[in-house]
Amino acid sequence: MPPLWRLLVLLGLLFLLLALHKQPWPGLAKAHMDSKSTLARIIAQGLMKHNAEGRIQNIRLLDSINASWQMAPGIVGWLIGSRNFQQQQEGSINVSDIQLVCSGIQMCFHKEWFSANISLEFNVDIRLSSFDNKISKTHTCMNLAVEFWLEKDQFGRRDLVIGSCHAERSSIHTKVLNEDIPPKMKRFLYNFRDNLGKVIPHLVESQVCPLISEILRQLDVKLLKSLMEQADAHELDQL
């Protein structure tokens, strides 16, 4: 690697480490300390800067469910196992306790291809008047995958291409955290848990994926190429 680019990479790492101490989000801060990937740290820093966890926490889940009812009444019916949701909806359904971590980067040197893995965990706090305004919690975890690669034009110049960004459906798991709950509410919660995975991924994608795309577009193509060369050289050293 040319000395100038090596210096720029080192300065970038120094900037990220200095910025880390000023950030309030524990989930993303942990990614900086644990991840070995420079690119993962850059993405985590960008998500922190754009307050991704705060945006997820501000998702108006109850409004989204109500909107789904207006567009297609059957959606809410299967969501909670009851056609009388509008009679029960007075209350709140909020997202809390978010942990968002850029857990790693996969690279294919020959194809100049990258995949970023984003791990997300959060609670959903449910309070409905039909159940005496008692607060119940479910815990959800999922992974998001983002693909991007370098593509050459007819003159050999590289451009960054951003591919799909989506929640991996097989990674979505939800469980009920409350133990002592009335039988009527238990049925509601387990129906809610089993079908939440059909609603929440789209809401999370709508908040996180545009931020990741914006972060990636700000990356210098030469820096990406340099980071890939470093990773490839490291793998060769391990052989």
Helices 3-20 and 26-34 pack at an angle, to 10 degrees, of: 140
Q: Which helix (DSSP H) or strand (DSSP E) does residue 5 occupy?
A: helix 3-20
Q: Contact 165/213 with Cβ under 8 angstroms?
A: yes
Token pair recorded at residue 161: 């291409």
Mean pLDDT of 61-69: 63
Q: What is the pLDDT of residues 126-158, one digit of tens each?
A: 887 777 777 888 899 999 999 999 998 888 888
- With tokens 């306790």, the residue in question is 97
d(CA 73, CA 85): 10
Please give the domain boundaries of the chain with CATH numbers for all domains: 3-238 (3.15.10.10)
Token pair recorded at residue 171: 């990674």
Q: Contact 23/48 with Cβ under 8 angstroms?
A: yes
Q: Contact 65/199 with Cβ under 8 angstroms?
A: yes
Q: Which residues pair with 92 in a beta bridge?
A: 127
What is the pLDDT confidence band of residue 74, given thresholds at 50, 70 and 90?
very low
Q: What is the pLDDT of residues 182-194, one digit of tens each?
A: 777 777 787 777 7
What is the pLDDT confidence band of residue 65, given thresholds at 50, 70 and 90?
low
Q: What is the pLDDT of residues 203-239, one digit of tens each?
A: 999 999 999 999 999 988 888 888 777 766 655 445 4
Question: According to the model, what pLDDT value does residue 221 have?
Answer: 87
